[in-house]
Amino acid sequence: MNAPLPIEVTQAAPGKVYDAVAQASNEVAGRLAQRLAAETKGEVLFSPADRGRYATDASIYQVLPVGVFVPRDAGDVKLALDICRDVKVPIVPRGGGTSQCGQTVGAGLVIDHSKYVRKIVTFDAKARTAVVEPGMVLDHLNAALKRLGLWFPVDVSTAAQATLGGMAGNNSCGSRSIAYGNMVHNVIGVQAWTADGQLHDFANYNDSTGKTRELARRAKDIASLVAADIEKRWPKVLRRVGGYNLDIFDNQNERPYTRDGSVNLAHLLVGSEGTLALTKSLTLQLAELPRAKVLGVVNFPAFYKAMDTAQHIVKLGDGTLTAVELVDRTMIDLSLKNPAFAPVIRTAVIGRPDAVLLVEFSGPDKSVLLRKLTDLVNLMGDLGLPDSVVCMTEEAQQKALWEVRKAGLNIMMSLKGDGKPVSFIEDCAVPLESLAEYTDALTQVFRRHGTRGTWYAHASVGTLHVRPILDMRTDGALKMRTIAEEASELVRQYKGAYSGEHGDGICRGEWVAWQFGPKIGEAFGAIKDLFDPANLLCPQRIVNPPRMDDTALMRFPPSYKVIPLHPVLDWSAWDVQNDPATEEITPPSTGGDPAQGFAKAVEMCNNNGHCRKFDAGTMCPSYRVTRDEKHSTRGRANTLRLALSGQLGSSESGLGEGALEAVKDAMDLCVSCKGCKRDCPTGVDMAKMKVEFLHQYKARHGYTALDRLVARLPDYARRASPFAALLNLRNQVPMLAKIAQRLLGISARRSLPAWREHHFFNRPPVTATRDEALSASRPVVLFVDTFNGYFESPNALAALKVLQAAGYTVHVADKLLPDGKHLCCGRTYLATGQVEEARAKASEVVSSLLPFVERGIDIVGLEPSCLLTMRDEMLAMGLGTSAQMLARHAFLLEEFLAKEAKDGRLEALKAKLRPLDKRVMVHGHCHQKAFAAVNPIVEVLKLIPGVQPEVIESSCCGMAGSFGYEAGHYDVSMQMAELSLLPAIRKFPGAIVVADGTSCRHQIQDGARREAVHAAVLLAAQL
Ligand SMILES: Cc1cc2nc3c(=O)[nH]c(=O)nc-3n(C[C@H](O)[C@H](O)[C@H](O)COP(=O)(O)OP(=O)(O)OC[C@H]3O[C@@H](n4cnc5c(N)ncnc54)[C@H](O)[C@@H]3O)c2cc1C
Ligand code: SF4
Ligand code: SF4
């Protein structure tokens, strides 16, 4: 038995702090909010929905904070710290909130650093160091460093949203940690406030002075009291991130913490998960960007062999080995099922491997790396696996494969049903010699508990990710503990680290003492007491943690209930359960969701925070411009989840009024771009959820005049167009625009699409009749929507010209029972939540077009949001198999032409197209991006001799149907356009800009004063 440490520990008993905070009266919360609002410049968010949105991170936990504070600068953080100390409310600092163990979940005041506190403070090119504020996102820092040939090399998978403050808090580690180490190896200074408000420069021990020196000296004393235990019990692996880094005084890590063997006090704060001090800035050691990379993909017939071989592969390094990453059979299979990834993964696999290891070498000299690849090939031959390595020396090929490796996890996470892959033992680190035995034994543990896990990630450092599938609403918590206990035994047996990447949080806090023993556990308590005697910073984390399986702290406890709701759209595909051992899904509508699948679709958001990204892709334009959690897809999904589960209040008829208003508020800036449908790892389709929500909301609150004006446009356009000259006065007389703004909310700063007296529908060109098309040898049906029909008729005429030039017999879609009106997809009704009306329109479209699609005749459209409704929302309206058949034959013009060109049927058109010697830039409509329909535009435009279209890397244009026309949304709409689209267009004043979306063209006209054209117009012009 260890003797107790001679240190007095005054930490509050477990449970006390949270009880105290949870019971904090409204009076305390009110006082806190009031003082924050009065004394700081920051945003003070204390509404139930705001607190709910910050009650979760990427873990399974949920704890409601007292409130949320978004500081505008470091000064605000310091003021908030002082106020919290005064009113005795703890602080939970937060970056991107992507922690997997519940580090950012806690009662108290959450301080979100990610919105404003994110500057590069100083940069020293010579010393290769940068000082950054904690809210800076890793990718943003690296983007700034790229032109200097430098980077910060702790390349976490969440690089697009993880903040440096959060990374330091968790002692994060990247895929290339074998070469660069963890955060602790790359942070060389931390400026931080301790709970008493004192600002310290934590850096080299010997240079410390004053109060910092005093803290350092006492920390050293504490460490020396347990020096023998540190020596004996500390896991001797690179990837140990649990507990406090008390070994800074006597390094136990595989890799020294400092280059010169000195003691750096900053390293004590790294990995302390916000419990010791509030970070003001971090000094980072930067690295040279590798000039060359090569990749060897080693194919293994058995998973065990792959694991056993990792220990030999890492010896090839000589400093050039930067990654050895595992992709197992399940992930290979999932990738092969995905049309986008299949061709890439096929280039990497030989036959049907059970696992592959991605072995990367990088450095300044490619010839050296190529020799390393040869060494790898030879090694595999020596180990009995000749011809098992696929060598990739081209960067593009390597990049594509790394993308598949990342996406594989995403596909795995999209499992429907209440059983989900749960992260709680997903980063135990074991020495490489034991990796094969460890993974084998843990797989047996899963099997015994009726579940399984897919293995992936960092074989180089013995940290493999694996998430067993558990249902936290039933027996998940119980199984989690048992599996954790059995896994921990294995970790001990193989002398590993229980927490090897993702930190402690709630999930692993109670394993800290288990890992390090009671004496070191007490020493950790003493460290906490030394830095934060009042227990103000993240209480009950690392020291005195709660139980990992305390269901009161969970997002989906067994008591979780969904409010019964009759959705208007069909969500039955989500209303399923799964078998954790086989991952088989039950049939639709069998999942027991009282909201008939809507709630389960919402719950697909696992809070990973991927939607807080700024890089390629569309998701999520409203977050990109506001940087507000509320306006991210995650924020919306959480608000909906809280509402649907009654956590924002309920009423007899379902959702409470407060809940409805909270969701409305969160949905306000959602432009329904469907970026999330494509980019979210679990396919959260917020645009569709918004339609459902609007329907529910408007059913209770009614429609506005603007809703009606927008929705009914297809119906009144015919009667309005004769008055084009009169109606267009609104664009010419500012007073009329102002009146329209006052009466309807349409921004006076916008021009509206111009009406035409003569348009496609009242001056129809000669086209084939239904019967002629049905009996033609090369028939096609052109679907002319409201916008291209009434407002931009030349586009419809251009499409007709192109199709006819290509030799098609073109019929213009019309009603089966003509009533003088055009066929309409119902999009405008959907946009305002009028689903019944949209369904009536859709039903007409389906029945009118069915005779064609039954004969295999394709339907071709021009406006992405209209045509793609046939492939999306129309399938959720209960229109049966006819709608599905239509969906299979509905194509955008370019999709159709690209398909036909591939089949060799466009030779006639190609021969007619005249060359064009101009730069052509393409802006894809968001729905085109969501349906992978941008590439066909490029392919088809390339048919014009001399044209090499460039796709503009842009998110949503910001107009998004009627969104950008609304006075209340004008500014945000323009900010969205200015993110990348408009600057890219302005860069090339002479370029032709192609944009298929009518709103996109309008936004480009308003924002850049440039006329963008539909691809059909460009093609027709060259005939
Ligand atoms: C899909 C997925 C993949 C992941 N991959 C990796 C990976 O490859 N490697 C890895 O290491 N992790 C990974 N993680 C975990 C997580 O993304 C990282 O730990 C990340 O660095 C956290 O950054 P953040 O900004 O989200 O921090 P947060 O989660 O917001 O905070 C992390 C910790 O830092 C503390 N903190 C934040 N700001 C401050 C401050 N100013 N002062 C004091 N403390 C502060 C918080 O209190 C908390 O304890 C992954 C997570 C997900 C969901
Ligand atoms: S909406 Fe999607 S991307 Fe965003 S946090 Fe949820 S699962 Fe992740
Ligand atoms: S539809 Fe677009 S704006 Fe709305 S949540 Fe998804 S990505 Fe964001």
> Residue 334's pLDDT is what?
80
Rounded Cα distance, 778 and 310, in Å: 58
Helix 395-413 / helix 329-337 crossing angle, nearest 10 deg:
100
Paired tokens of 280: 């003001």
Helix 893-902 / helix 793-805 crossing angle, nearest 10 deg:
10
Rounded Cα distance, 580 and 417, in Å: 10
Question: Which atom of ligand 3 lies closest to the CA of 619?
Answer: 7
What is the DSSP track for 810-833? EEE---SS--SPPP---HHHHHTT
* Nearest Cα to Cα of residue 1006 among 953, 940, 959, 967: 959
Residue whose CA lies nearest to ligand 1 atom number 32: 166
Using the predicted structure, report yes or no on whether residue 98 has a pLDDT greater than 50.
Answer: yes
> Residue 21's pLDDT is what?
55
Q: pTM here?
A: 0.94
Under 8 Å CB-to-CB from 132, ≥6 apart: which residues?
118, 119, 120, 121, 141, 164, 281, 282, 284
> Residue 10's pLDDT is what?
39
> Do residues 782 and 810 touch, judged by C-beta distance below 8 A?
yes
With 0-12 / 13-18 / 19 or more C-beta atoms within 10 angstroms meaning exposed / middle / buried, residue 557 is: middle
> Residue 3's pLDDT is what?
35
Q: Where are the alpha helices (DSSP H) in 859-990?
A: 864-867, 880-889, 893-902, 907-912, 926-930, 935-941, 970-979, 981-987
Using the predicted structure, report yes or no on whether residue 77 has a pLDDT greater than 80.
Answer: yes
* Per-residue pLDDT tens digits for 970-1000: 999 999 999 999 999 999 999 999 999 999 9
Pocket test for ligand 3, best of 671, 680, 694, 931 (most atoms within 8 A of CB): 671
Ligand 1 center–CA 508 separation, angstroms: 15
605 CB under 6 A from ligand 2? yes
Rounded Cα distance, 463 and 499, in Å: 10
Q: Among 23-27, 29-33, 759-763, whose mean pLDDT is lowest?
A: 23-27
* Per-residue pLDDT tens digits for 118-143: 999 999 999 999 999 999 999 999 99
pLDDT-based confidence at 341, cuts 50/70/90? Answer: confident
**HEC string of 313-380?**
HHHHCCCCEEEEEEEEHHHHHHHHHCCCCHHHHHCCCCCCCCEEEEEEEEECCHHHHHHHHHHHHHHH
SS3 179: helix
pLDDT-based confidence at 288, cuts 50/70/90? Answer: very high
**Average pLDDT, integer, range 294-317:** 95
Helix 686-701 / helix 633-644 crossing angle, nearest 10 deg:
50
- What number of other Cβ atoms are within 10 A of residue 999's Cβ? 27
Ligand 2 center–CA 417 separation, angstroms: 16
β-sheet bridge partners, residue 91: 109, 537
> Residue 23's pLDDT is what?
57
**Average pLDDT, integer, range 8-24:** 48
- What number of other Cβ atoms are within 10 A of residue 185's Cβ? 23
* Per-residue pLDDT tens digits for 252-284: 999 999 999 999 999 999 999 999 999 999 999
> Do residues 426 and 467 touch, judged by C-beta distance below 8 A?
yes
CA distances from 191 to 74, 201, 528, 829 (A): 11, 5, 18, 54
Paired tokens of 167: 């990374």
pLDDT-based confidence at 1013, cuts 50/70/90? Answer: very high
The pocket around ligand 3, CB under 6 angstroms, is made up of 619-622, 633, 636, 670-676, 686-687
- Greater pLDDT, 229 or 1: 229
Paired tokens of 689: 């959820």
**Average pLDDT, integer, range 169-195:** 96
Helix 476-493 / helix 435-448 crossing angle, nearest 10 deg:
160
Q: What angle do CA 776, 777, 780 make, to 5 degrees?
A: 70
Using the predicted structure, report yes or no on whether residue 15 has a pLDDT greater than 50.
Answer: no
Question: In this structure, which ligand is nearest to the CA of 684?
Answer: 2
* Per-residue pLDDT tens digits for 427-482: 999 999 999 999 999 999 999 999 988 888 888 888 888 999 999 999 999 999 99
Rounded Cα distance, 492 and 488, in Å: 6
β-sheet bridge partners, residue 412: none
Residue whose CA lies nearest to ligand 2 atom number 7: 605
Ligand 1 center–CA 651 separation, angstroms: 37
CA pseudo-torsion sign 375, 377, 378, 382: positive
The pocket around ligand 1, CB under 6 angstroms, is made up of 57-58, 92-100, 103-104, 113, 134, 156-158, 162-163, 165-167, 169-170, 172-174, 273-274, 278-279, 501-502, 538, 608
Ligand 2 center–CA 633 separation, angstroms: 6
212 CB under 6 A from ligand 2? no
Residue whose CA lies nearest to ligand 1 atom number 17: 98
> Do residues 49 and 635 touch, judged by C-beta distance below 8 A?
no
Question: Which atom of ligand 1 lies closest to the CA of 175?
Answer: 8
> Residue 408's pLDDT is what?
64
Ligand 2 center–CA 636 separation, angstroms: 10
* Per-residue pLDDT tens digits for 869-928: 999 999 999 999 999 999 999 999 999 999 999 999 999 999 999 999 999 999 999 999
Using the predicted structure, report yes or no on whether residue 516 has a pLDDT greater than 50.
Answer: yes
Question: In this structure, which ligand is nearest to the CA of 166?
Answer: 1
Using the predicted structure, report yes or no on whether residue 12 has a pLDDT greater than 50.
Answer: no
β-sheet bridge partners, residue 629: none
Residue whose CA lies nearest to ligand 3 atom number 8: 620
Rounded Cα distance, 814 and 455, in Å: 53
> Residue 457's pLDDT is what?
85
* Per-residue pLDDT tens digits for 566-612: 999 999 999 999 999 888 999 999 999 999 999 999 999 999 999 99
Helix 210-225 / helix 518-531 crossing angle, nearest 10 deg:
170
Biggest CA pair distance of the chain: 97
Ligand 3 center–CA 112 separation, angstroms: 22
> From the centroid of its chain, how far is CA 431?
32
> Do residues 783 and 866 touch, judged by C-beta distance below 8 A?
yes
Paired tokens of 179: 């070469």
Percent of the chain with pLDDT over 90: 88
Paired tokens of 837: 């009306």
Under 8 Å CB-to-CB from 395, ≥6 apart: which residues?
293
> Residue 27's pLDDT is what?
84
Pocket test for ligand 2, best of 574, 606, 615, 679 (most atoms within 8 A of CB): 606
Ligand 3 center–CA 7 separation, angstroms: 53
Ligand 2 center–CA 890 separation, angstroms: 29
> From the centroid of its chain, how far is CA 996?
26
Residue whose CA lies nearest to ligand 3 atom number 6: 676
CA distances from 894 to 364, 918, 927, 944 (A): 43, 20, 14, 13
Pocket test for ligand 3, best of 602, 622, 665 (most atoms within 8 A of CB): 622
Percent of the chain with pLDDT over 70: 97
Ligand 3 center–CA 339 separation, angstroms: 24
Residue 609 carries which side chain, given as an amino acid letter?
G
Using the predicted structure, report yes or no on whether residue 2 has a pLDDT greater than 50.
Answer: no
What is the DSSP track for 725-746? HHHTHHHH-HHHHHHHHHHH-B
Question: Which atom of ligand 1 lies closest to the CA of 117?
Answer: 41
Using the predicted structure, report yes or no on whether residue 388 has a pLDDT greater than 50.
Answer: yes
* Nearest Cα to Cα of residue 331 among 430, 214, 410, 446: 410
Ligand 2 center–CA 685 separation, angstroms: 10
* Nearest Cα to Cα of residue 612 among 93, 56, 96: 96
Q: Is the peptide bond before 676 cis (omega within 30 degrees of 0)?
A: no
